[in-house]
Amino acid sequence: MRPTAKFSISFGLVTIPVAAYNATDTSASVSFVRIHTADGGRVRNQPVCSLEGVEITQDEIGRGYKPGDGDTVVPLTDEDLDALPLPTAKTLTILAFVAGGDIDPLQMGKGYYLGIDSPAAAKPYVLLREAMERHQRVGLGKIALHGRETLAMIRPMEGALVMQVLLWPHQIRSMDGVLPERQAEVARNEVSAAEALMDSFGELSEDDLHDHYRESLEEIVAAKLAHREPEFPAGEEQPAGEVMDLMAALQDSVRAAKRSRGEDEEAESRSGRTAKKSTVEKSTAAKSTATKSTATKAAAKKTAAKKQTAAKKTASRGGRRAG
């Protein structure tokens, strides 16, 4: 991997020469070319001079700056840009260390891996990385990249330093007109149901991080080249339409998430075992009660029989005495 830029990190009086490498690969994403639908020919963007109306080559293209809202364009040469009094042209000066959560994700742009650019940079590089790890802070500074000065964040990651280009605060648009004038109200039990649904999602799997769109697109292209119909694996259809009962939808979503992981089957199995155990216990208890009832009745009969026998004997003795 070749570096895209070289500069130094200024950490107080410590200077760390580094080389920046692209951390992302945008060429791996899906991209299309424009074609003429009538014959499939490529449609290209040809650079044309607005004054002469003729096509020009890349060697004839330079930079210009348009001040204000007028039509005036001021030409700028490479020498003009090199003469800019930018201390950040070759140095990323760290201005502050802040908690990573203080950075608005909307500001985050392209990422770069930072490697040492000289043997002397090894120790201060490790020192800065470990200090930020222990202090749980990220560094904020400014650097000029590709002819423009930009904010940048430096953070430790897996034994290395990573630089993230940041947008300027004025480049983040306001939220005027985004939110409705009147906010919807939700009940506490609905929030609890939503939290239960969040907990039911579980961890990300490798399949979740797979680019299925790219694979499907490649299958369509392959099918067209082979003059056949594309073949796609059967997938679960997503429900469509407006959800009217929010609470019911949340509860159904939790149950669906559990079924997808087989948790409902385990719960039903446990429920079945519990119900069976309860039935057995009830049956046993009923049998025990019946046995006790039978024994009680038998004992009562025996007692009654004994009383009758004793009464007869008493009556017999009384008769003999009277005679």
Per-residue model confidence as pLDDT tens digits over 136-159: 999 999 988 876 788 999 999 999
Q: What is the average per-residue pLDDT within 220-238?
A: 79
Q: ∠ at Cα 24 (20, 26), nearest 5°?
A: 130
Q: Do residues 74 and 64 make contact, with C-beta atoms less than 8 angstroms apart?
A: yes
pLDDT in tens, 90-123: 889 899 999 988 899 999 999 999 999 989 899 9
Pairwise CA distance, residues 260 & 197, whole Å: 13
In single-letter form, the type of residue at position 256 comes to A
Of the ranges 84-88, 173-177, 238-242, 245-249, the best mean pLDDT one: 173-177
| pLDDT score recorded for residue 315 | 47
Q: How far apart are CA 144 and CA 90, in angstroms?
A: 7
Find the mean pLDDT for residues 47-70: 86
Residue 155 and residue 100 in contact, taking contact as beta carbons nearer than 8 Å: yes
- With a CB cutoff of 8 Å and minimum separation 6, the contacts of 120 are 17
CA distance 242 to 238: 13
> What's the average model confidence in pLDDT over 68-84?
79
Amino acid residing at 274:
T
Phi, psi of 150 (to 5 degrees): -145, 155
Locate 94 and state its tokens: 């760290």
The pLDDT tens digits for 8-35 are 998 888 889 999 999 988 776 777 888 8
The CA–CA distances, whole Å, from 317 to 41, 47, 311 equal 133, 141, 10
Q: What is the DSSP string of 99-133?
A: -GGGS-GGGEEEEEEEEESSGGGHHHHHHHHHHHH
Six token digits for residue 36: 């003429």
The pLDDT score that the predictor gives to residue 12 is: 82
DSSP codes joined into one string, 258-285: HHHTTHHHHHHHHHHHHHHHHHHHHHHH
